[in-house]
Amino acid sequence: MKVKFYGVRGSIPICGREFQRYGGNTTCLRIHREDVNRIVIIDAGTGIRNLGKEIVNMGLKQNVINILFSHFHWDHLQGFPFFAPAYNKNQRIGILVMGKERKITNLKEIFSLQMQKEYFPVELDTMGAQFEFLTYGDKETFYGAHVTVTPQFHMFPGGSYGFRIEDTTGSLVVCTDLEHINGIDENIINLAKNADLLIHDGQYTADEYKKHRGWGHSCWEHAVEVATLAKAKRLIVTHHHPDHNDNFLDFMEKECQKVFSNSLFAKEGMEVTV
C-alpha cells in the first residue's frame, strides 16, 4: 500500500517562492494498492487537480474511482470541479462518506450547490462522469477482502472523520481536521493503535493553538502524543497552516523529530510505502 500526498495545506491554498518545497495545495491523498492496481482518494482539496491530470496521463483504467471524504469544508472540497476524470463520460466516480454520526440527508446536494451556475460554469449533472453517492457505516471492507476501512468521529466544528485503512501489508491511519479539546482523545489513540503509519493534523504551533482553541485543529505536539500513546511506527504531520513557509516547517519538523524520531512533515508529491 502506497500513500501519495497531492495537497498538504489547511484552510486555503497558498503560493509563493517560500512555499514551494512543501507545496500550497489543500488536502488530497491517494492510496494505491499495487497488488490489485487500484487507487482510492481521500478528500478533494485543490491537490486533486494534479492527481486528476496524473490519472489521465498514466492511462489508469479503474471502473470506479472512489473519493472518501473526511468532511466538507471548502479546503477539502474545492478541487473537485477541476478533477479531470469527472469529465469522462465512461468513468464512474464514487463519492463516499462513513460513520454513523454523520447527519447528511442529501450527499449529492453538497456537491451540486458549489457547482451551481452562479459559482461555476459547469454544473454537476453536466460534468460527464457517472456519480454514485454512497453512505457507509462504521466498518467496511472494499475490493473483496482486500481493504478494511474503519472511521472515527473527530472533535471538529461541523464534525469530521478519521480513517484506519488496513490490508495484508499494513495499517494506515489518517486523522486530519481534529482537535484534542480536553487532553488527547482516547478514541483517536485506539484508532491509531500500533499503526504502521499515522498521518495527523498539525496546523498550529503550540502557541498558536492557545489562541485558536475550538477551531478544530491540532499542533505537532498533539500528533506526537497520539503516535507515542498509540505506539504507531511512523508519523507524518500534515494540514499545514497557510502562513507557515518552508523554512518555518523545516524548523518545526526538526523539533518534532527530537521527540518522535520517525516523523516527517508532509510535502506535496511525497510518496511513502505502508
DSSP assignment string, 184-213: S-HHHHHHTTT-SEEEEE--B-HHHHHHST
Return the beta strands (E) in 46-142 as ranges: 64-68, 92-98, 130-136, 140-142
User: Does the pLDDT of residue 122 top 90, yes or no?
Assistant: yes
- What average pLDDT does range 1-7 have in this prediction? 96
Each domain of the chain, given as residue ranges in start order, spans: 2-273
Domain 2-273 has CATH 3.60.15.10: yes
Question: Do residues 93 and 65 touch, judged by C-beta distance below 8 A?
Answer: yes
Residue 239: the pLDDT is: 98
Dig out the grid coordinates for 219 from the structure.
499542533
Distance CA 174, CA 242 (A): 20
Cα 86 from Cα 124, distance rounded (Å)? 9
What is the DSSP annotation of 140-155? EEETTTTEEEEEEEE-
Task: Specify the pTM.
Answer: 0.95
Beta bridge partners of 42: 29, 68
* pLDDT score of 35 more than 90: no
Which pLDDT band, with edges at 50, 70 and 90, does 92 fall under?
A: very high
Residue with cell 452562479: 118
pLDDT at 165 over 70: yes
Residue 168: CB atoms within 10 A of its CB come to 10
Can you give the pLDDT at residue 168?
86
Mean pLDDT of the chain: 94
Contact indicator for 240, 11 with CB cutoff of 8 Å: no
Give the model's pLDDT for residue 145.
Answer: 59
Kindly state the percentage of the chain with pLDDT values over 70: 97
Which residues pair with residue 200 across a beta bridge?
175, 237
